Structure 1
Amino acid sequence: MAELLYRIGRFSVRRAWLVLVGWLGVLALAGGAFLAFGGTLTQSMSIPGTETERVTEQLDARLGGLGGATGTVVFQTDDGEALSESQQDAISALLADIAEIDGVSGVVDPFAATSERSDQAAQLADGSAQIDAGRAELEAGQAQLDAARTQLEAGQAQLDAAVEQAKAAGVYDQAAAQFDAQQAQLDAGTAELDAQQAQLDDGRAQLDESAAELDDGERLMDAAAEIRTVSEDETTAIGVVMFEDDLFSLSSELKAEVAGELDGADIEGVNVDYSSEIAASIDGLIGIGEIVGVLIAALVLIIVFRALLPATLPIISSFIGVGIGVAGSLAFSGVVDMSSVTPVLGVMLGLAVGIDYALFIINRHRRQVLAGMELHESIQLANGTAGNAVVFAGSTVLVALLALNVTGIPFLGIMGTVGAVCVLVAVLIAVTLTPALLGLIGTRVLSKRARAEIGHEVHAAPKLVAMPTWRAIVTAVVSIVVLLVIAIPALSMRLGLPDGASESPDATTYQAYTAVSDAFGAGQNGPLLVTATLPDAVAEDEVVATQADLAEWLMGVDDVVAVAPVGVSDERDFFAFQVVPSDGPSSETTEALVHELRGQSPIGGDAASAAGLDGVELGVAGGASGNIDISAKLAGVLPLYLAVVVGLSLVILILVFRSILVPLIATAGFVLSLFAAFGATVAIFQWGWFGEVFGVHNPGPVLNFAPIIVMGVLFGLAMDYQLFLVSGMREAYVHGTPARLAVVAGLRGGRAVVTAAAIIMAAVFGGFVFSHLTMVRPLGFGLAIGVLFDAFIVRMLLTPAIMHLLGPAAWWLPKWLDRLLPDVDVEGAALERSHPVHGAAAAGESATDASTGDVEADDAAEFSADRGA
């Protein structure tokens, strides 16, 4: 590989303009492909097989479209006065216009809903009054009927007495006809009273039935009492936009069209804000924070190179690489569902690794030119040696990102693939365009003062002195303790997706969220859709009663503040309800409520039996439920992905360093820096520490896919730093330097470039901490702080200290394994031997030569014993 890269470097130097124009042409093609074939991005993430997705599909199949996404629109007066009639009319007209948009299945007019609710309440009140009046009439009728029956019974008694007297006097036969006529009259009266009693009983039964229906309606009204569309002070109203597609299929174009209608609304005295389900714009990939990060990276390059021109080369090459990688990836967004965060990750990685990889090659070239090597030969050799390390380093990042596909989570796999493409382009740019640009600027890669010192002995490395053992012990202990302490918050990490409360205070989504919370309660921002599947269908006249029984049961669950029926299947065995929790969609109580509802299915217990709800199966869907399911799924794959990454780390490092303990040290260090990064992220974004500094005004759960992305990217970068530092230690050791002095030699040779690279990485990633995209901030912070921990604590402090304590044992490898492993010349040592530096000694040789007169007695004995073994 080193020889191939050497030849690529030679071609690039000789055909510099061709290479530059070629890459610019590729950039133009990528941009054209994006414009021609690019599709839409989504702000929602879906994972096949979740409970929410199953229930959503069931809602679509059984209730015809209830599984569609819904967005909230909040209308609030800016003077705190009640909404006027003209303002209400304008709001209703706006929502009616939105209802006509293709893809919108309907809207809820807050004033029509309030009026309808008032009408229903009035109807219930009228019905109750009519039932009371009917009962009074029935009671009066019953009293009259009872009085008539009493009179009739008295008449019957008189007739019976007269008959007895006639029989006693022996005159019954003469009066029999008269007695029969009187009895017939009495019997007719009794029959009429019985008929009237039957009518009264029928009326009473009808009233009882109506009263039961009225009671069911009142129970439903009571359960939904807290679901309002107009606030009590009438200053705030909530409209709802219902989409045909579900949240995960909703296109950005449709959301943008609806948002455009709302943004263009000019209702005097009314502020219009809307929820994240409608807010579709990502406002560009680069903001002011990201620009500041790149400027800091440029400043670091100027300090490292002490010249402006060479400092611009990594910036130029990285921007070309980012443009190609991101635009090329977005060209496939029309055929692949791609999250809006995906290109942002590509920009982050492309800029960071693109600048760093160019830095490694340019830095090697500058050292060689200072040592006296001919310019073009130096470019070619730098490309073959440092470029070889860049290819290996990029490969580790590439593998880590592509490994995201093993999680089985589609949007994560796509994010990893796009990131990998951007890293691949950065590597190709580094080993082709960087040599071409170096050839174009010639000796101006050095400052004027440095060019005057080319080949001087002043560049020879100083003598090596091993660190004291006590310092190594203290450094190792302090480093481990610091990282473990910082990692403590990670034990309480809770994953989720940010809701409107996490957005910037000037964002429409934040304004909508807070307005709804203040006027209607936080739970209105994330209502749940709860389904109930009955074991048997109910009769048509039992539907309302069943809805009321289910609503009452749901109201009995903790943290439920309101329940409203939203649909019944034609078979009358499937019911759906809107359930409003007590808190917002990302709260712990809402998460607990979702799990409790699912845990109660099928319904059982005495209360359920009394209400006839035994065996009813519950399902939960909605935006909040979907986010909870996705977070749980992501948390579940974290251990698997960590195992894959750790396994890869051990295999790669054993191949590179031909050692068992060095890979174990490197991997353990990576795990320490990873969990420290998790801990810091939890402290900032979940606990709210230093919230004012990082713009966290409302702490919440950690972005659910941030840990797994940070894990993959940090793994690749950690292997980069391990390679650039420890490979120098190994090179010095195999060339005869005692183990402990080899640690110092490798650290001295690589720390400057690794320091610069880490600062650049942290600056680029850190720029995204202040991004206008809420989901990007924890991602940028986790990567930035993870790079700082890994580079400055693990690689520059902990690893050298432990390797010093291990001495030659750090490089132990079983002989059988040594014979099996291929020789991976990552440093390009073979190429250096065939293309030696002319003039002054190379940096590595200088370090080795300088160390020979400074070997302490114990190190010399250690070294001899090791070589003898």
Structure 2
Amino acid sequence: MAILLHRLGRTAFRRWPIFLGVWVVALVAVGATALAIAKPTTSAFTIPGIPSERASELQQELFPDAEDALNDTSVTVVVAAPEGSTLTDEPYADRIAQLVQDLSESPQVLSSEEAPILDPTTAAAAQEEALVAGGATPEDVANLAPVDPDGRVGLITLEFDVDEPTDIEPASQEAIMELADEASGDGLQVEANGPGLQLMEISGASELIGIAVALVVLVLTFGSLVAAGLPIVTAIVGVALTSLGVTGMTAFVDVSDMTPILAVMIGLAVGIDYALFILARYRSELQHTDDREEAAGVAVGTAGSAVVFAGLTVLIALAALAVVRIPFLTAMGLAAATGVALAVLVALTLLPAVLGMLKGKAFGGVVRRYDPKRDSSGRVLNNGVRWARTVGRSPIAAVLLVVVALGALAIPAKDLQLALPSDSTSPSDTTQRQASDLITEAFGEGRQAPLLVVVDGRGIEDDAARQAAFGEVVAWAAEKDDVAHAQITGTNADPAGDPATATGATVLVTPESSAEDVATTDLLADMRATQGDLEESTDVEVGVTGMTAIAVDVSDRLNDALPIYLLVVIGLAFLLLVLVFRSLLVPLTATLGFLLTVLATLGITVLVFQEGALGLVEGQPLVSFMPIFLVGVVFGLAMDYQVFLVTRIREAHVHGADSVAAVVDGFRNSARVVAAAAVIMMSVFAAFMLMDMSFIKAMGFALATAVFIDAFVVRMTLIPALMYLMGEKAWWLPGWIDRFLPRVDVEGESLERAHARHDDDRHDDDREPQTTGA
């Protein structure tokens, strides 16, 4: 591989106009195609085969005109009079009447004589009349009332006249928001939420902040303005292609509205880092030769080989998300994997082409001369060497300190609570969250967390027995713990016929707790556990659905899929690392280090984002798919640093250094660059905490934390300490495996250099006396 990449690097450097032209054509072609075929992204999280989806299918059989919960386009406008007043007082009544009229005339809003939008008091009277006529009890009426018992808070319900939420135009959503703002005043509070108002504000500010920090780090690393800009420019090309590719992907599959953000976040971070590693090696090679083309070839052949295998580990981790058979997660993984693949291709081809174009100006704009300190024998003496020697003095203490510290940080992970994003988990300063809080205060926590029981009575021939069975289902649900109320809200009887002929019914179960509360999850589990006995005793078939049930089922499926995913990812990556390092112990310690990183990261994230520690955010459950996606991304990034650091250690070992000298030499040549890469990646991820979406905030924080822990604590402290302790055994590999594995030559051993390496540069002088261990 090193020879092939060496040739690729030289060719790209020499024939730079062709390579640059190909990338420009690719950008134009992909961009034009993507924009021509693109469709809107979706905010729905569906998983085929979950119980709530099967119940929803049953509902469609019994009620063909019923709306799928995932296609709900409704909006709830909440109006609240001041304390001590009611909605019928003036001037609030007039304001609300005008608001209802304006909402009826808003773009894309469904409003007609058959389905008018009513103010809360009018809607309450009409609803009570209809419910009483259908045999509802006073408790049933109160449970669905659009006005609270005090008459102070009311709900105006409307929906957009579209087939799917993705058909709602942003201008239509903004019109609702503007009307709510205009109606507010004189003590009347007006807020709005609901599926029809799920907005995705995507701003480029986060990316720009991450890029700005990366530029500063690169200037400090290279001391050159031109060189500092190269990794950023090439990474932006890869990110642009990734974004356009994700846009085009919407024409063929449903793409979550979070997918583009995550793809950009990861693509930008690895794109800068991969280019940084190759550019740093290129500068290092220029110290040994004046032949820039050869230096580019060697840089791509050595550092480029590490980039390929580092990228492969990330690709495995992200693409393997398809194994868990969750469509939206698969789309996320493939989109992010595409970004990583493009980052690798850009680093291997576009970067050397740009170097060929710039030639001697690649390190222009000098702000600081690169003049590393050297010891008495002429070898570079930097902080990487100093740190490696420090760890080597007491490797056992280093291992114990890291394991104990990360283990302690992982403890809060045992309280991990997961949920899907909702209005009640939005930031407290948003109208969606304020509307949710008003509803909770006025109507109770469970009002926004209903469970819908679909009852199929087609197996009962007698009409009276079937109606009695429907009543038994209501009683069964009402007796459950944490149930505030249960009632029949619809049947499929012919409106003009006998109501007793209905073969299906829907039972609305209102919990006492919120959708995110563990009690609601336990309620759903209890209903599912006992529905078999109910079906056997009543001869009906039941299923529980609704957005609350769907959210719980999605979280459960993701949790169940995590062990399978871990097994596939770790297994494949372990084999890849065995191939790269030709060792069993090095991949094993790399994997164990990754597990420590993930557990500690989850613990810290739970502490900060779920428990609200440090006051950075309001405590709330973490989004359901965060752990599995975090595992995939962190594993890939962890193996990045493992590959870049340990390949330089192995390179020194391959060229004759003993186990101690190899570790020191590896840190001499790679620690500075890896540290810079980690700081860049941390800044890119941390910048996404400035976005409004709580999930993106949490993911950005978690990824930045994971990079810090893995790069500086695990890879730069734990791994070298373990390698000191393992000594030559670190490179042990059974003979039969060694004969079986192909040789990929990541270290570039087969390359013929213009400069020779002398063994005496890596010998006993790098040894440090060890006071403990080894």
TM-score (norm 2): 0.89
Q: Does the 8 Å contact 1:498/1:586 carry over to 2?
A: no
In the aligned structure 1, how far is the partner of 2:45 from the partner of 2:115? 24
Q: 1:541 to 1:641 in 2, by over 3 A?
A: closer
SS at match of 1:397: helix
Q: Does the 8 Å contact 1:495/1:635 carry over to 2?
A: no
**Which consecutive unaligned segments of at least 5 residues does structure 2 have?**
494-500
The answer as to 2:688 corresponding to 1:684 is no
Question: 1:521-670, aligned counterparts within 5 Å?
Answer: 521-534=444-457, 537=460, 550-570=473-493, 571-604=501-534, 614-670=538-594
Q: 1:538 to 1:556 in 2, by over 3 A?
A: farther
Equivalent of 2:639 in 719, 722, 732: 719
SS at match of 1:339: coil
Q: 1:544 to 1:614 in 2, by over 3 A?
A: closer
The range that moved more, 289-298 or 806-815, is 289-298
Equivalent of 2:77 in 64, 74, 79: 74
Structure with higher Rg: it is 1
SS at match of 1:74: strand
In the aligned structure 1, how far is the partner of 2:155 from the partner of 2:462? 35
Q: 1:15 to 1:587 in 2, by over 3 A?
A: same
The range that moved more, 319-328 or 519-528, is 519-528
Q: 1:228 to 1:673 in 2, by over 3 A?
A: same
Amino acid at match of 2:330: G
CA deviations 1:89-117 (Å, max 9, x no partner) are: 33443454469747999676333430124
SS at match of 1:273: strand
The answer as to 2:427 corresponding to 1:497 is no
The answer as to 2:434 corresponding to 1:511 is yes
Equivalent of 1:471 in 394, 397, 406: 394
Amino acid at match of 2:524: V
2:5 is aligned to: 5
The structural deviation recorded for 1:13 is 2.4
Q: Does the 8 Å contact 2:214/2:683 carry over to 1?
A: yes
The structural deviation recorded for 1:545 is 6.9
The range that moved more, 228-237 or 86-95, is 86-95
Q: Does the 8 Å contact 1:350/1:426 carry over to 2?
A: yes
Question: 1:685-704, aligned counterparts within 5 Å?
Answer: 685-690=609-614, 692-693=615-616, 696-697=617-618, 699-704=619-624
Question: What is the aligned-residue identity percentage?
Answer: 34
- How many residue pairs match? The answer is 745
Q: 1:436 to 1:272 in 2, by over 3 A?
A: farther
The answer as to 2:253 corresponding to 1:336 is yes
Q: 1:255 to 1:505 in 2, by over 3 A?
A: farther
The structural deviation recorded for 1:54 is 1.0
Equivalent of 2:167 in 237, 253, 267: 253
Q: Which has the higher helix share?
A: 1
Equivalent of 1:407 in 317, 324, 328: 324
Question: 1:151-550, aligned counterparts within 5 Å?
Answer: 217=135, 220-241=137-158, 250-254=164-168, 256=170, 259-265=173-179, 266-267=182-183, 269=185, 271-286=189-204, 288-446=205-363, 448=366, 460-462=379-381, 471-534=394-457, 537=460, 550=473
Q: Does the 8 Å contact 1:229/1:237 carry over to 2?
A: yes
In the aligned structure 2, how far is the partner of 1:482 from the partner of 1:456? 35
In the aligned structure 2, how far is the partner of 1:258 from the partner of 1:61? 32
2:716 is aligned to: 796
The answer as to 2:17 corresponding to 1:87 is no
The structural deviation recorded for 1:394 is 1.2
The structural deviation recorded for 1:723 is 1.1
Superposed CA RMSD: 3.2
CA deviations 1:627-656 (Å, max 9, x no partner) are: 100000000010011111111222111111
The structural deviation recorded for 1:801 is 0.5
**Which consecutive unaligned segments of at least 5 residues does structure 1 have?**
125-215, 864-869
The structural deviation recorded for 1:795 is 0.7
The range that moved more, 236-245 or 807-816, is 236-245
2:497 is aligned to: none
CA deviations 1:471-514 (Å, max 9, x no partner) are: 10000011111111111122222222132232122322212211
Q: Does the 8 Å contact 1:73/1:274 carry over to 2?
A: yes
Q: 1:52 to 1:582 in 2, by over 3 A?
A: same
In the aligned structure 2, how far is the partner of 1:370 from the partner of 1:89? 78
SS at match of 2:486: strand
Equivalent of 1:744 in 664, 687, 702: 664
1:31 is aligned to: 31
The range that moved more, 728-737 or 422-431, is 728-737
Q: 1:784 to 1:857 in 2, by over 3 A?
A: closer
In the aligned structure 2, how far is the partner of 1:300 from the partner of 1:88? 55
In the aligned structure 2, how far is the partner of 1:277 from the partner of 1:708? 25
Q: Does the 8 Å contact 1:674/1:711 carry over to 2?
A: yes
2:679 is aligned to: 759
Q: Does the 8 Å contact 2:58/2:454 carry over to 1?
A: no
CA deviations 1:717-761 (Å, max 9, x no partner) are: 111111111112212222221212212221222111111111111
1:849 is aligned to: 760
Q: 1:444 to 1:454 in 2, by over 3 A?
A: farther
Q: 1:65 to 1:683 in 2, by over 3 A?
A: farther
In the aligned structure 1, how far is the partner of 2:371 from the partner of 2:767? 33
TM-score (norm 1): 0.79
The structural deviation recorded for 1:37 is 0.8
Q: 1:553 to 1:244 in 2, by over 3 A?
A: farther
The range that moved more, 480-489 or 631-640, is 480-489
The structural deviation recorded for 1:421 is 1.0
Q: Does the 8 Å contact 1:10/1:380 carry over to 2?
A: yes
CA deviations 1:20-78 (Å, max 9, x no partner) are: 34323322322222221110111111000011111111112212333433434123247
In the aligned structure 2, how far is the partner of 1:100 from the partner of 1:452? 62
Amino acid at match of 2:743: D
In the aligned structure 2, how far is the partner of 1:453 from the partner of 1:649? 38
The structural deviation recorded for 1:707 is 1.2
SS at match of 1:601: helix
Q: 1:373 to 1:222 in 2, by over 3 A?
A: same
The range that moved more, 458-467 or 35-44, is 458-467
Amino acid at match of 2:193: S
Q: Does the 8 Å contact 1:602/1:615 carry over to 2?
A: no
